[in-house]
Amino acid sequence: MDKFEKFIKREKIYEGKIIKVYKDKIKIKNNKIITREIVKHDECVAILAIKNKKIVFVRQNRYAISASSLEIPAGILNSNENAEKGALRELHEETGLIAKEIKFLFKFYSSIGFCDELINLFIAQDFIQDKQNLDDDEFISLEEYDYRQAIELISKNKIFDAKTIIAILTYKNYIKNT
């Protein structure tokens, strides 16, 4: 932490499969002691897969929002797995696509106000088609849209997942510069 917040004490509130929740006591710049609730999340990957000039999306139910969500393929890294290997694995598992070409774009935090989830964004092109290899609790369908359609889906609130919106907006910049 920077000079404006000094860590004092941490209490673990919850530990689950992919997150840990902590309540930290910290001293802030004006010397007040305050509480910060922090979610520690495993590192993730997200893949902007471009197939025949269309973006490959996965549609899946998201319990936390009680809705179906249209997203780019993504997932949590396994322990000791590097981001590129994890991106290739997640892409194949969720879409059945084996990427011949994958490029790291950048990393970003999903919601820094309370969570440290770090997402590594990749772009993948040129694929071999295989079959999906979904987990027992995954029910994913695939959809493909071109860039203009994807932007329209965002504007109509049909795509509302932050990592997916970031990836789509990044794609426009990426294609301008290639």
Looking at residue 78, what is its pLDDT? 94
Looking at residue 4, what is its pLDDT? 76
Angle between helices 147-155 and 162-176 (to 10 degrees): 140
Of 35-39, 104-108, 138-142, 164-168, which range is least confident? 138-142
* Domain 44-176, classified CATH 3.40.50.10680, yes or no: no
Least Cα distance to 90 among 49, 46, 58, 128 occurs for 46
What does pTM read for this prediction?
0.91
Tell me what percent of the residues of the chain surpass a pLDDT of 70.
96
Q: What are phi and psi of 33, to 5 degrees?
A: -95, 125
Looking at residue 1, what is its pLDDT? 46
Non-local CB neighbours of 13 within 8 Å, separated by 6+ positions: 21, 22, 23, 37
**Average pLDDT, stretch 149-160?**
97
Do 57 and 144 meet the contact criterion of CB atoms below 8 Å apart? Answer: yes
Of 71-75, 80-84, 107-111, 169-173, which range is least confident? 169-173
Do 93 and 133 meet the contact criterion of CB atoms below 8 Å apart? Answer: yes
**Cα separation values, 39 from 7, 11, 90, 113, 132, Å:** 16, 12, 23, 10, 31
Give me the residue spans of the domains in the chain: 5-41, 44-176
Tell me what percent of the residues of the chain surpass a pLDDT of 90.
82
pLDDT digits (tens, 9 = 90+) for 90-132: 999 999 999 998 999 999 999 999 999 999 999 999 998 889 8
Least Cα distance to 122 among 149, 88, 169 occurs for 88
As a whole number, the mean pLDDT across the chain is 93
